[in-house]
């Protein structure tokens, strides 16, 4: 245990009184509460946003490191925490306020995305955010900024956020945005918290714009012989007038590339659009169902999960790089949005940690070179030994000094999920 950790523990021991004074139920952390292998001293389970604010204020008084948690499905994402004294569980914040006529919903951060979908579906509406990781909560999806295939048409999750309420590191609750679909009053701070991994504030509720559930959906799928051909197919669909919702590529560790095109819209038009896409993709098949594994992350538990971005036309170079990234592991599985240029991949858990670190570094260099510096590779999640072997999950992050400055102003003592984010934020 590092000196800093030890110090945190000592402080935490003396701090239970302060946390209890928040009036929120607090229990000792258990093994199942561990964040990236670190068991928190305490787990606070507030009933509402006021409770979150009280816990944050109490923790701030004693300089305790605070980590917000929804369902915990992605709690280990990012770099390992420097400190983790209190896990703040927001599961109880699950109020849903659906204004169906306005195509708007406000949901508590702890609301399971599946539950939200049920409520919205009853009115023929949906939040067009794919359930990439099953069991996720609204807060978790927003804090990780994790978007699925639909990002191509509907935008990533942050594009759907209209307003947000967060609790700051000092326990002050603050909102930005609003509850109407059009609004430019003030800074849109929701954008900042989307993907911030809980390092700038504790998200307590989010207001989203919604879409009607489309009456019909078809998927057109075709094999491509190689990455270059896959790109040709993708480009031909993009140039068509078929207005697809998503264009995905999927290549298992051992296998060929498949291109999937999702079309959604009125029943009357869907068949004609599917036929047109089909004519662009030789040997394709059309289905009314989504293909297996649609929108799911590649790999399995214990794998090192990678996110790669590139200009869409550079897809072949990125696919080639992934095929050759880890000589001892063989081609890496890859799945993602060929239409927008966001791919996910995974290094198998069996990869030697030192080799994994090396593979990430060389893959990152290759992606950056192949994309003229536009692309990036970040490691979303990695087992502890890979981190300990010297992994850099982030690579070069332009604008880092501004990011540090934002962090410093919003969380001057660095108590919110410390160490998890780029540049050690």
Partner 1 sequence: MRERAIRDRSDESPHDRSTTDPAGAAHGRADRADRLSALVPRLKRICGGDGVITDASRRRTYESDGLTYHAEVPGVVVLPTTAEQVAEVLGLCAAEGVPFVPRGAGTGLSAGALPRTDGVLVTTSRMRRVIEVDPDNECAVVQPGVANLDITRAAAPYGYYYAPDPSSQQVCSVGGNIAENSGGAHCLKYGFTVNHVLGLQIATPQGGLVRLGGKAPEAPGYDLIGAFIGSEGTLGIATEATVRLVRTPQKVTTLLAAFTGMDAGGEAVSSVVAEGVLPAAVEMMDALSIEAAEAAVACDYPEGAGAVLIVELDGPAADVDADAAMVRRLCERAGAFEIREASGAAERARIWKGRKSAFAAVGRISPAYIVQDGVVPRTALGEVLGDIARLSAESGIRVANVFHAGDGNLHPLVLFDDAEPGAGERAAEVSGAILDLCIRHGGSITGEHGVGVDKACSMPRMFTPQDLETMDLFRRAFDPAGVANPEKLLPTPRLCGEVPGVRKDVHPLVAEGRAEQF
Q: State yes or no: residue 32 binds partner 1 (CB under 8 A).
A: no
Q: What is the DSSP letter of 35?
A: B
Q: State yes or no: residue 211 binds partner 1 (CB under 8 A).
A: yes
Contact region for partner 1 (CB under 8 A) — 86-94, 245-253, 279-287, 369-377? 369-377
Nearer to partner 1, 30 or 243 (CB): 243
Q: What torsion, rounded to 10 degrees, do the Cα atoms 232, 316, 130, 222 define?
A: 40
Q: State yes or no: residue 403 binds partner 1 (CB under 8 A).
A: yes
Query: Cβ(296)–Cβ(281) under 8 Å?
Result: no
User: Measured from the CB of residue 230, what is the shortest distance to partner 1 in angstroms?
Assistant: 15
Q: State yes or no: residue 312 binds partner 1 (CB under 8 A).
A: yes
Q: What torsion, rounded to 10 degrees, do the Cα atoms 73, 78, 80, 82 define?
A: -110
What's the CA angle centered on 230, arms 225 and 234, to 5 degrees? 150
Q: What is the DSSP letter of 332?
A: P
What is the C-alpha separation between 9 and 20, in angstroms, rounded? 17
Q: State yes or no: residue 410 binds partner 1 (CB under 8 A).
A: yes
Contact region for partner 1 (CB under 8 A) — 13-21, 80-88, 168-176, 289-297? 168-176
Query: Cβ(136)–Cβ(112) under 8 Å?
Result: yes
Q: Which of residues 76-135 bind partner 1 (CB under 8 A)?
A: 99, 101-104, 124
User: Measured from the CB of residue 290, what is the shortest distance to partner 1 in angstroms?
Assistant: 20
Strand partners, 105: 98, 208
Contact region for partner 1 (CB under 8 A) — 9-17, 44-52, 296-304, 391-399? 391-399
Q: State yes or no: residue 181 binds partner 1 (CB under 8 A).
A: yes
Q: Both tokens of residue 115?
A: 């539950």
User: Measured from the CB of residue 16, what is the shortest distance to partner 1 in angstroms?
Assistant: 28
Q: State yes or no: residue 212 binds partner 1 (CB under 8 A).
A: yes
Q: State yes or no: residue 31 binds partner 1 (CB under 8 A).
A: no
Strand partners, 306: 345, 379
Q: How far from the centroid of its chain's Cα atoms is residue 9's Cα?
A: 30
Nearer to partner 1, 12 or 377 (CB): 377
Nearer to partner 1, 43 or 425 (CB): 425
Nearer to partner 1, 196 or 325 (CB): 196
What is the C-alpha separation between 297 and 132, in angstroms, rounded? 7
Query: Cβ(40)–Cβ(85) under 8 Å?
Result: yes
Q: Which of residues 238-277 bind partner 1 (CB under 8 A)?
A: 238-239, 241-243, 265-269, 272-273
User: Measured from the CB of residue 8, what is the shortest distance to partner 1 in angstroms?
Assistant: 25
Nearer to partner 1, 101 or 283 (CB): 101
> Which one of residues 204, 310, 351, 417 is an interface residue with partner 1 (CB under 8 A)?
310
Query: Cβ(49)–Cβ(165) under 8 Å?
Result: yes
User: Measured from the CB of residue 295, what is the shortest distance to partner 1 in angstroms?
Assistant: 16
What is the C-alpha separation between 380 and 397, in angstroms, rounded? 15
């Amino acid at each position: 245990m590092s000196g800093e950790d030890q110090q945190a523990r000592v402080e935490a021991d003396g701090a239970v009184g302060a946390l209890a004074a928040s009036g929120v139920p607090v229990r000792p952390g258990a093994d199942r509460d561990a964040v990236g292998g670190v068991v928190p001293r305490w787990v606070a389970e507030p009933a509402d946003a006021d409770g979150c604010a009280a816990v944050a204020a109490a923790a701030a008084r004693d300089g305790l490191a605070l980590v917000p948690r929804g369902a915990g499905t992605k709690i280990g994402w990012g770099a390992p925490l420097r400190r983790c004294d209190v896990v703040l569980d927001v599961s109880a914040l699950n109020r849903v306020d659906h204004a169906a006529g306005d195509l708007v919903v406000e949901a508590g951060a702890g609301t399971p995305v599946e539950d939200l979908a049920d409520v919205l579906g009853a009115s023929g509406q949906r939040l067009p955010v794919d359930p990439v990781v099953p069991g996720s909560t609204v807060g978790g999806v927003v804090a990780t900024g994790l978007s699925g295939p639909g990002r191509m048409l509907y935008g990533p999750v942050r594009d759907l956020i209209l307003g947000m309420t967060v609790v700051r590191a000092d326990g002050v609750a603050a909102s930005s945005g609003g509850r109407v679909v059009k609004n430019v009053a003030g800074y849109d701070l929701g954008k900042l918290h989307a993907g911030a991994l809980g390092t700038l504030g504790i998200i307590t509720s989010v207001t989203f714009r919604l879409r009607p559930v489309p009456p019909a959906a078809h998927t057109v799928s075709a094999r491509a012989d190689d990455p270059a051909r896959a790109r040709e197919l993708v480009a031909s669909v993009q140039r068509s007038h078929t207005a697809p919702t998503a264009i995905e590529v999927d290549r298992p560790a051992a296998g060929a590339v498949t291109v999937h095109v999702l079309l959604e819209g009125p029943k009357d038009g869907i068949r004609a659009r599917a036929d047109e896409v089909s004519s662009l993709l030789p040997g394709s098949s059309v289905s009314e169902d989504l293909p297996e594994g649609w929108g799911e992350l590649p790999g399995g538990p214990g794998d090192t999960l990678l996110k790669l971005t590139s200009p869409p036309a550079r897809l072949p170079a990125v696919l080639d790089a992934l095929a050759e990234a880890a000589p001892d592991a063989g081609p890496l599985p890859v799945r993602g949005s060929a239409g927008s240029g966001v791919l996910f991949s995974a290094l198998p858990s069996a990869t030697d940690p030192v080799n994994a670190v090396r593979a990430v570094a060389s893959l990152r260099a290759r992606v950056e070179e192949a994309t003229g510096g536009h692309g990036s590779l970040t490691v979303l999640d990695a087992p502890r030994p890979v981190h300990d072997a010297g992994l850099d999950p982030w690579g070069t992050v332009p604008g880092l000094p501004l990011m540090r400055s934002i962090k410093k102003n919003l969380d001057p003592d660095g108590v919110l999920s410390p160490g998890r984010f780029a540049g050690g934020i």
